[in-house]
Structure 1
Amino acid sequence: MLCEIRRFDDVDVHAGAILGWQQTYDQLSTGHASTLLKHVTGERFQIFQEALDKRVVQRGTAPHGRLCLAMPVSHAGPAVFQGRSIDTQSVTLLHSGQEFFVQATEGMDLLAITVDAVRLERLADLELPAPSARRLGALARLEMHQDVLAAVRGQLLDLVDAALAAKQLPEKLLEDRVMACMLDLLGQAVERDGRAVNHAVSAYLVRQSQELALDLAQRDEPVSVLEICECLNVSRRTLQRSFQTLTGLRPVEYLRAVRLNAARRRLRGTDPRQLTVARVASDLGFTHLGHFAGYYKTLFGEHPSETPRHG
């Protein structure tokens, strides 16, 4: 079992430190990042708490064979999960191998747990009414009574602190307590209705636009908004509204930030003697090196030449 508390100055390095998750984090708000990660990871469970001081886009795939549940710890403005707003009374779920897309606000403090899906299903059959147990695989969001959620959240935070304080809690005991918290939440939950379809469409358009923006292998310059509209068969108004709803930014601003984050990852992972800043900028569609350096400095609080290279 691994118990750690770590601080990072790069949001994507932070993302890579959360064991079992295939994911990338892109920084959207400007300045040097300073993040905190607490995690307790066992063979069949995980608890982690992450605090982000920047606006971040999180995307990736949930761990296979796990049910994952997440809840904000403190209020830092509404975040967006899978196209829907979440706050401190929201509980969201990800299933084995499910793709996710999260817009995290500055100052977001998130608590998440994962448990073995097969064991949870077996226990849910015993503890939950049959209709609820059968619907478990389709749940994406839970609406909780505030007191219940606060109590369970407090239990989980106490478990993290106890494990980090090296109180020698057996791994099996920790797993069972995490599983009990998961069952308590599922047992008390009522799936929330709402306009999820429209939000899901917006989330899809943003994700697809992001993929198009990073697919520069066959292109000499970034894809334009009009080209994205043509590829996705949507109007400029629909695309603009989707980006404003989910990211608060215009498509051009958001997609430029995505490419800047991709450039930062490449810089951090390569040797400056083998790959120059100019080449990285060009590969990501920035044809004017001065403009690239200015955008980069504004977003990350440092010039590209100041980013640590670890190739």
Structure 2
Amino acid sequence: MYTATAHFDDVHLHAGAIQGWQQTYDQLSEGHPHTFLRHVTGERFQVFQEALDTRVVQRGKAPHGRLCLAMSLGSEVSGLFQGQALGGEQVSLLRSDEDFFVQAEQGMRLLAITVDVARFAKLAAYELTDEQLRRLSHSSRLHVPAARLQRARQRLLQVLAHPDPGAAEAWLEQQVLEAVLEVLGQSEDVTRSRSGNKAVGAYLVRRCQELVLEWTEEPLGILQLCEQLKVSRRTLQSAFHDSTGMRPVEYLRAVRLNEARRRLRHASEPSTTVSRVANDLGFSHLSHFAVHYKKLFGERPSQTLGACS
């Protein structure tokens, strides 16, 4: 079993510290972030708590063979999950290898759990109704009564607080599974047809993000993205406005700047230079790249590269 508590000043390092997840965090707010992460990871379960003081886009894939739940630790809406609001009485679901896309607001505090699917299925067959089991196969968001959700939060936070080094891993797993069953046993599906447009918008934003990182030699413009996705400019602009609160050009520039930061931070070859990384990501004017980079991350790209030397 592995336990750790850490603070980070880089969202990329924060994302990489969460074991078992294939994910990328992109910083959207300007300045140095200060984040917090606490996690307990066993062979068949994981619980982690994270706090972010900056706006972040989280994207990636859920761990294989796991059912994953996430809930806000505050009463306010703390972001969008798969294009739908993540509020104080809602739980988000991910299944094994499922892609996810999260818009985390500044100040987000999140509690997340993963459990082994096979182990969970055996228990759920006795604990949950057929309707509740059906929801687990397709729902991305569930509503849970506030009192019930708070009890589950408290149980999970106790697991995180300071697990006794002598505590049996099986006992901790039992606490996590009981919390998950308590949440799911009182849940209601809050997926609505009216939320479909938001989900489509989140999908368009995610696809744009993927495309601009695939076509780095000649960055795609808005019209080219519209052509690739077969949507109107107005549809694309609305998608970005609803999902990110930013214009497409600003958001996608931040995506490329975050990729530049990852490459600078993890540079392993002596031949890696700031100008080479900038050029590889389609920033044709090095001075403009440096200005935007410093504005977003609070340091010059050369400082990021130098810190890894």
Letter of the 1:299 counterpart:
L
Instruction: Assess if the C-alpha contact under 8 Å between 2:141 and 2:191 holds in 1.
Output: no
In structure 2, distance between residues paired with 1:2 and 1:140: 28
| Deviations 1:56-110 (CA, angstroms, capped at 9, x unpaired) | 0000000010000000112565400001111222210100000000000111110
The offset of 1:196, in angstroms, is 3.0
SS in 2 for 1:40: strand
What's the offset of the Cα at 1:222? 1.1
Alpha-carbon distance in structure 1 between the residues aligned to 2:77 and 2:304: 30
In structure 1, how many angstroms separate the alpha carbons of the residues matched to 2:52 and 2:290? 24
Q: Give per-residue Cα distances to partners, 1:229-286, cap 9 Å, x unaligned.
A: 1111111110000001001100000000000000000000114731110010111111
Name the amino acid aligned to 2:211: L
CA RMSD of aligned residues (A): 1.4
The verdict on how the C-alpha distance between 1:24 and 1:135 changes in structure 2, with shifts beyond 3 A counting, is same
Match of 2:143 in 1: 143
Q: Give the structure-1-normalised TM-score.
A: 0.95
Q: Give the secondary-structure state (helix, strand or coil) at the position aligned to 1:307.
A: helix
- Pairwise mapping of residues 1-311 of structure 1 onto structure 2 (< 5 A)? 1-75=1-75, 77-163=77-163, 166-194=164-192, 195-216=194-215, 219=217, 221-271=218-268, 273-308=270-305, 309-310=307-308
CA positional deviation for 1:21: 0.3
> Is residue 76–residue 107 contact of structure 1 (8 Å, CA) maintained in 2?
no
Structure 2 unmatched ranges of 5 or more: none
Counterpart of 1:152, as a letter, is A
Alpha-carbon separation, structure 2, partners of 1:135 and 1:238 = 30
Q: Distance in 1 between matches of 2:141 and 2:63?
A: 18
Give the counterpart letter for 1:255 in structure 2: L
Give the conservation status (yes or no) of the 8 Å contact 2:68–2:93.
yes
Secondary structure at 2:162's aligned position in 1?
Answer: helix
Partner AA of 1:226 in structure 2: L
After superposition, the C-alpha distances for 1:24-79 in whole angstroms (9 at most, x for unaligned) are 00000000111111000000000000111110000000001000000011256540
Report SS of the residue matched to 2:106.
Answer: coil
Q: Would you say the 8 A contact 1:93–1:141 is kept in 2?
A: yes
Task: Give the distance between the partners of 2:269 and 2:96, measured in 1 at CA.
Answer: 38
Determine the C-alpha separation between the residues in 1 that align with 2:289 and 2:177: 47
Q: How far is 1:134 from its partner?
A: 3.7
Describe the superposition over 1:133-169 as per-residue Cα deviations: whole angstroms up to 9, x where unpaired.
2442223211011111111111111110031xx4532
Q: Structure 2 counterpart of 1:229, which letter?
A: C
Q: Which amino acid aligns with 2:212?
A: A
Structure 2 CA distance for aligned equivalents of residues 310 and 99 of structure 1: 31
Q: Which amino acid aligns with 2:178?
A: A
- Separation of aligned partners in 2, 1:176 and 1:302: 45
Query: Are the counterparts in 2 of residues 121 and 133 from structure 1 also a CA contact under 8 Å?
Result: no
**Do the aligned partners of residues 130 and 271 (structure 1) sit closer, same or farther apart at CA in structure 2, a change above 3 Å counting?**
closer
AA at the equivalent of 1:139: S
Separation in structure 2 between the aligned mates of residue 180 and residue 51 of structure 1, nearest angstrom: 24
Of 8-17 and 128-137, the range deviating more from structure 2: 128-137
Stretch of structure 1 that moved more, 190-199 or 286-295: 190-199
TM-score, length of structure 2 as denominator length: 0.96
Alignment gaps of 5+ in structure 1: none
Query: Any idea what SS the aligned residue of 2:114 has?
Result: strand
Mapped to 2, the partners of 1:34 and 1:139 lie a distance apart of 33
What CA distance in whole angstroms lies between the structure 1 residues aligned with 2:37 and 2:132?
33
SS of corresponding position for 2:189: coil
Deviation string, structure 1 residues 201-241 (Cα, Å, up to 9, x no partner): 11111111111111235x3x311001001111111110000
SS at match of 1:39: strand
**Alpha carbons 1:277, 1:304 under 8 Å: kept:** yes
* 1:75 and 1:108 in contact (8 A); partners too: no
